[in-house]
Amino acid sequence: MCTAPDTVAFQPAPATGGEQDAGYLCSWNLLIRVISRRMAPSDIIRTESLSRRFTSRRGTVLAVAGIDLQVSEGEIYGFLGPNGAGKTTTLRMLATLLPPSGGTAIVAGADLLREPALVRERIGYVSQAGSSFPDVVGRDELVLQGRLYGMPKADAKRRATQLLNDLDLAEFGDRPTKTYSGGQRRRLDIGIGLMHLPKLLFLDEPTTGLDPQSRARMWDEVRKLRAHGTTVFLTTHYLEEADALCDRVAIMDHGKVSVVGTPVELKKQVAGDVVLVSVEGPTAIARTLLAEQRFVRKAEEEGSSVRLYVENGPTDMPAILRLLDGAGLVIRELSMSRPSLDDVFLIQTGRSLRDENGQG
Ligand SMILES: Nc1ncnc2c1ncn2[C@@H]1O[C@H](COP(=O)(O)OP(=O)(O)OP(=O)(O)O)[C@@H](O)[C@H]1O
Ligand SMILES: [Mg+2]
């Protein structure tokens, strides 16, 4: 039984000797020096062209297509993207669980490829699937994790008690984890990731499957971590989670990061207002008509509605009404809202995250 992170056989750097090896090491060292120079003192992660491809009999998938990331110490950094975007693959690489196919990274002050043990010591990783065993009591899971990281038994026990209290799990600590609710189990997963006091914690979809109340509670836990100085790098499908929780968000799709910014900065990219209009009859006619108007920046069909990005919703709404009415189209619904991260996602990727997941 083991709650330790998956182990990965790393390719050691080639031994010195031979012109080719010397050349390899020379360019390697140069690359590392370049990355290190570019790192601001507060960077906890910096990657350059990090990539990962998977090859199977069915072909090759470029899961992560060369990404450059910069995460600052102390922030909650969110990776937002649809299924298959490459989020978990990126996290697994940064957590030393999967060797990259290309590129380099500095994680928590250590070189990902050359110092994986050091990276592992300094980070915590909570996988998408969770890591607790059903028949083991929560406290034992925590103690075991501490022991795997070399903590003396007494220290591991003390830390386990402290975490059970901090994560509001004290009353369940001595019960097998199969008796926990989804939210309690997810909190225990986070405790397992925090046992050895990492300065950087990776959380892969910490709130998927939780009810809104448990999700809000989890957000509080993550905020508490930040308040205690832990940097949190999480993935999520939930737009409102990224909005409410993350200091910065990266939108990932098809293995690439299309945009990075604070939720406010990202929403500002979608200037103006969003108007959703649905008409009786073919939506395409309404879309074409509206797309031609000068005040409409973008018009997209969305199911039986048209989503319009306009300069000024309150003043443009009457014009929209007049136009559709003039064209003999009967309006079923008309609403206006401020841009959301969903709109940013839609503009960046051409798709709605809500459609992908049926949630959000
Ligand atoms: N071990 C593997 N072998 C082959 N392909 C893989 C493997 N792991 C991931 N992939 C592929 O890589 C791509 C990215 O997968 P990844 O798990 O990183 O996505 P994700 O963004 O985490 O998705 P989700 O939101 O569903 O968790 C997908 O196309 C996936 O099928
Ligand atoms: Mg994933």
* Whether residue 276 is found in the same domain as residue 326: yes
Number of domains the chain is built from? 3
* Whether residue 172 is found in the same domain as residue 303: no
Q: Which pLDDT score is estimated for 172?
A: 92
Question: What are the tens digits of pLDDT across the range 160-176?
Answer: 999 999 888 999 999 99
Is the CB of 238 within 6 Å of ligand 1? no
Q: Which pLDDT score is estimated for 14?
A: 34
Average pLDDT, the chain: 84
* Whether residue 213 is found in the same domain as residue 108: yes
* Whether residue 174 is found in the same domain as residue 296: no
CATH for 197: 3.40.50.300
Tokens of 136: 């083991």
Best mean pLDDT range from 4-13, 100-109, 181-190, 311-320: 100-109
* Whether residue 209 is found in the same domain as residue 100: yes
Residue 215's pLDDT band (cuts 50, 70, 90):
confident
Alpha carbons 340 and 359: distance in angstroms, whole number: 14
Q: Which pLDDT score is estimated for 298?
A: 86
Residue 258, domain member (yes or no): yes
Residue whose CA is closest, atom 11 of ligand 1?
63
pLDDT at 7 over 50: no
Residue 37's pLDDT band (cuts 50, 70, 90):
low
Mean pLDDT for 196-217 is 87
Q: Which pLDDT score is estimated for 210?
A: 79
> How far, in Å, is the centroid of ligand 1 from the Cα of 84?
5
* Whether residue 93 is found in the same domain as residue 215: yes
* Whether residue 147 is found in the same domain as residue 218: yes
Please choose, from the candidates 237, 234, 227, the residue with its C-alpha nearest in 3D space to the C-alpha of residue 84: 237
pLDDT at 26 over 80: no
Q: Which pLDDT score is estimated for 322?
A: 92
Is the CB of 11 within 6 Å of ligand 1? no
Percent of the chain exceeding pLDDT 70 equals 86
* Whether residue 45 is found in the same domain as residue 137: yes
Contacts of 213 (CB under 8 A, 6+ apart): 183
Stronger pLDDT, 8 or 119, i.e. the higher one: 119
**C-alpha distances in Å from residue 170, one per residue of 181, 186, 189, 247:** 14, 14, 14, 30
* 64, 67, 89: residue to mutate for ligand 1 pocket, most atoms within 8 A of CB: 89
Q: Which pLDDT score is estimated for 62?
A: 96
> Which ligand 1 atom sits closest to the C-alpha of 86?
18
Single out the residue in 235, 266, 297 at which a domain terminates.
Answer: 266
Tokens of 200: 């950087």
> How far, in Å, is the centroid of ligand 1 from the Cα of 63?
6
* Whether residue 114 is found in the same domain as residue 232: yes
| Amino acid at position 167, single letter | L
Is the CB of 283 within 6 Å of ligand 1? no
* Whether residue 124 is found in the same domain as residue 178: yes
Alpha carbons 103 and 87: distance in angstroms, whole number: 16
pLDDT at 29 over 90: no
| Region class of 218: left (phi > 0), else alpha (psi between -120 and 50), else beta | alpha
* Whether residue 283 is found in the same domain as residue 257: no
Q: Order of strands, edge to edge, in the sheet holding 305-310?
A: 296-302, 305-310, 273-279, 331-337
* Whether residue 327 is found in the same domain as residue 254: no
Is the CB of 340 within 6 Å of ligand 1? no
Residue whose CA is closest, atom 18 of ligand 1?
86
Q: Which residues pair with 107 in a beta bridge?
A: 45, 110
Question: What are the tens digits of pLDDT across the range 117-172?
Answer: 999 999 999 888 776 788 899 999 999 999 988 899 999 999 999 999 988 899 99
Residue 16's pLDDT band (cuts 50, 70, 90):
very low
Is the CB of 81 within 6 Å of ligand 1? yes
pLDDT at 35 over 80: no
Question: What are the tens digits of pLDDT across the range 51-64?
Answer: 999 998 889 999 99
Residue 139, domain member (yes or no): yes
Q: Which pLDDT score is estimated for 53?
A: 97
| Amino acid at position 157, single letter | K
Residue whose CA is closest, atom 8 of ligand 1?
89
| Amino acid at position 97, single letter | L
Single out the residue in 213, 242, 266 at which a domain terminates.
Answer: 266
- In this structure, the number of other CB atoms found within 10 A of the CB of residue 358 comes to 7
Percent of the chain exceeding pLDDT 90 equals 51
Structural domain including 237 reads: 41-266
pLDDT at 5 over 50: no
Question: What are the tens digits of pLDDT across the range 283-299?
Answer: 899 999 999 999 898 88
pTM above 0.85, yes or no: no
Residue 274's pLDDT band (cuts 50, 70, 90):
confident
Alpha carbons 301 and 283: distance in angstroms, whole number: 7
| Listed residues: CB within 5 A of ion ligand 2 | 87-88, 128
Is the CB of 63 within 6 Å of ligand 1? yes
Is the CB of 127 within 6 Å of ligand 1? no
Residue 308, domain member (yes or no): yes
